[in-house]
Amino acid sequence: MRIAGDVYPLMLTLGAGNRVREFGTESGVFAGAGIGLTEHFGTSVAYNGGNVDVGASFRLPGLESVGFNVILSVNWIARNVF
């Protein structure tokens, strides 16, 4: 994707299958989008009909083969905290 002359890598996912919803017990559809915001940081969001996952990915400069990912599932928070 090109924004104001800068290029940002973009990934889109759409699919369907069994064991997608209700923690792997029901069939359903899923969709997601991710974008690389800098050379070492990207973010993503995904939805499977039952929950939303928000993620971030970090790479350390000089260690491109090593990455660190963080994913927050909104469904778990809504069910177990509120």
71, pLDDT greater than 60: yes
Output 40 or 21, whichever has higher pLDDT. 40
Mean pLDDT throughout 63-78? 69
Rounded-to-integer distance, Cα 82 and Cα 49, Å: 19
Contact of 66 with 60, CB cutoff 8 Å: yes
* Per-residue pLDDT, 12: 94
Task: Round the average pLDDT of the chain to a whole number and report it.
Answer: 80
* Per-residue pLDDT, 18: 84
Mean pLDDT throughout 33-47? 90
Mean pLDDT throughout 7-29? 82
